[in-house]
Chains A and B, each alone.
Chain A
């Protein structure tokens, strides 16, 4: 009855809400670390945009270097004393509002939050944040934009339909401020890798500042302690060997795998399938239309039938992370940042936990495996239209927030004030439990420095992560549609992907044979896939 707002209005919602809901239903596109299709250029102008000149900044020499290019540097301790980058606040106490998703619970309100106040004082601004639960991002963005009262910084997390038109109409073209050498005014933003900037190009200009993330894409994590316990080495050389290893670790209480979709991606990487799309001489092919896609599905069903999956793996709502953390499954497909998270969450339950990353071997002697690169960013923040002076002010505040690892500003941002919010233990900052809810303010989503590998108290983990990246990054392939824009993908891409995903679920559950995938792919093609392919080819041709 009275909850008519939540039920009836959702159903009878306006166009933006309906389209927004289609997007919100799958966190697709730019933010997916699967090197997802990020909306980018529309024509030659976009290809000619000069991205900011990359100028890496490393105030402290890392223990393990950032080589080859794309690998994150690893640090084993926090420099003591930390280097102070800014001698005085960059702002004059002006108000600044931010619209961002919040991936945790709400932080303590600003009035009672000493961490928030300390940040305000240090940067010289009065920061106000509009929190949005990720599930409701699309609706909230739609109403915020239609209401006309935009905050200064708006995070584009799940790209809404007609993103390029939206950016042009409501947000600032940052090209004069950031392109090429202009980025020198903001040295910390210049340290954001070029790959991360590619997704922010629209309408022939740079329209947002990205929140950088590792180039390393999603990863197959592996419980090395269990592998060692079973007496096998964790590096199979082909699929058959992988299957043997999987059988070797499966017992009555433990299984090899927990997610059918994750296994599918691993096998696709083994088969050398492209990252989303393959580009060859100007022709684009969608990975799922290749015969290897069906081969991967067949093999996943083979593994399911072999009893190598957790019995609840196909149920929706399965807590796969829980299984991995407690040792019920051995291989787990996840986003790269999840690696250190497992230690934080499960170290007390599984103290012997030792996690490594699996580099996919070739499927058989003749295959060349691929690793899929990540998108290089979490989301990007667009600046609402304002006078150039105001834009410069906002950018210098973002520059403060992007101060790199090793600076006192970074320490303040990530950990708070020493003694109040954290303490140094053996050269590493350790958060204080009492202040935990103050630290939930997502300043990292305002602007951030490129990530580094820093695992205080867990040197082995840091070294393992670095070693994995050194091997993985050179082998990773990017998604060739990054930087290219397809209108149809913006409007229909999400629904088409969901339809394919549903078809796969039917196959995994063995309600449909693997051959039914042909029908699903044909439906994808006729439902818009062919149009998307044509649009990408056209966009690519324009850049040549």
Chain B
């Protein structure tokens, strides 16, 4: 028998143990991936197969793109997709810009209006207004039916500001002070020195922004009356007719409209998942580093 390889000073466990561990890991992955497979397959399956097998299938016998075609026909969903992408992109960039500048300013204890500004930000973490006050606020400012109503009210998130501020305060002071001595302006320091060192936290906060902009539907429901301006999640919500076993009290909608077939519902799910799945791998390495940032520091 050959000598086992030494890795990092430790001999690896015998083959059978490694095999067993592998099997367990494969089983765990299967449990996670099976629902995904079911959803993808259901979206590609024909209606007949779905009716026969009762709703979900693991493998389509006659895959077709009918569900996708029927959703994308009429242009409603494609338009909503573009709107969602636009709102997410603009919102994330603006949100990052504002959060970064606020956090940086608050990371210098002597900055102008430091205490009131910091207390103001912390105060908003204590509670959130209800639906009606938010609506009335947005209406007063005149943003009803505008996409800015989905972006501006959520641009400054107190938690993100605190996390970023904590990160900036951990940066080596000598670096920043030497830049000051060399005559760099604050903006120059922020852009050329601080930001390149903060890739991890920018990625994390950026991802938080992006995901919440992408998923938001309730504010669009309240603030945007014109359905041609709805983002993707809200449009998709209209397709999900509650197919729960209707109790005696809930029959009003039954028979009013044909419920969405299973293939359509799962195709909708896929359409809303794909963009996020595409973006995530690029941010993953930053995310891994940044995941510890929320920890308590100084």
Contact = CB atoms under 8 A, between A and B. Distances in A.
Interface of A: 1-6, 8-10, 12-14, 16-17, 26-28, 31-34, 36, 102-112, 129-136, 139-140, 142-143, 146-147, 149, 157, 218, 258-259, 261-262, 264-265, 313, 316-323, 325-326, 328, 333-341, 344-346, 348-349, 378, 434, 436-438, 497, 501
A142 B75 contact: no
A110 B215 CA distance: 26
Given A32-B249, A497-B249, A378 B132 contact: no
Given A3-B216, A326-B54, 8 more contacts: A14-B133, A17-B132, A140-B221, A146-B132, A147-B139, A265-B248, A316-B245, A320-B245
Contact of B247 (A103, A109, A112, A501): A501
A27 B242 CA distance: 12
A147 B259 contact: no
Contacts of A10: 131, 218
Contact of A319 (B47, B55, B212, B234): B55
Contacts of B250: 26-28, 32
A111 to B, nearest CB: 8
B251 A32 contact: yes
Contacts of B130: 9, 12-14, 17
B276 interface: no
B221 A133 contact: yes
Contacts of A149: 139, 144
A36 B247 CA distance: 13
Contacts of B54: 319, 322-323, 326, 328
Nearest to A135: B242
A2 B246 contact: no
B227 A2 contact: no
B65 to A, nearest CB: 15
Given A336-B255, A348-B47, A436-B70, A9 B52 contact: no
B136 interface: yes
Contacts of A328: 54
A319 B254 CA distance: 12
B160 interface: yes
A104 B241 contact: yes
15 contacts: A2-B208, A2-B209, A9-B128, A10-B218, A12-B128, A14-B133, A27-B250, A34-B248, A103-B257, A322-B54, A337-B256, A344-B258, A346-B51, A378-B252, A437-B70
A425 B223 CA distance: 44
Of B136, B237, B246, chain A has the most CB atoms within 10 Å of the CB of B246
B157 interface: yes
| Interface bracket on B | 35 or more
A14 B130 CA distance: 5
Contacts of B258: 104, 341, 344-345
Given A33-B251, A437-B73, A325 B245 contact: no
Nearest to A345: B258
Nearest to B219: A5
Closest 3 CB pairs of A and B: A2-B212, A337-B255, A437-B74
A27 B267 CA distance: 28
A493 to B, nearest CB: 10
B24 interface: no
Contacts of B154: 2, 4-5
A259 B245 contact: yes
A316 B249 contact: no
B79 interface: yes
A386 B234 CA distance: 32
Interface in B119-158: 127-136, 139, 144, 153-154, 157
B243 interface: yes
A50 B109 CA distance: 74
Contacts of B252: 27, 31-33, 157, 335, 378
A2 B256 contact: no
Contact of B222 (A32, A108, A140, A497): A140
Interface string B62-89: 0000000011011110010000000000
A25 to B, nearest CB: 10
Of B133, B239, B242, B248, chain A has the most CB atoms within 10 Å of the CB of B248
A395 B133 CA distance: 34
Given A102-B238, A140-B222, A34 B128 contact: no
Contacts of B216: 2-3, 5-6
Nearest to B159: A1
A12 B127 contact: yes
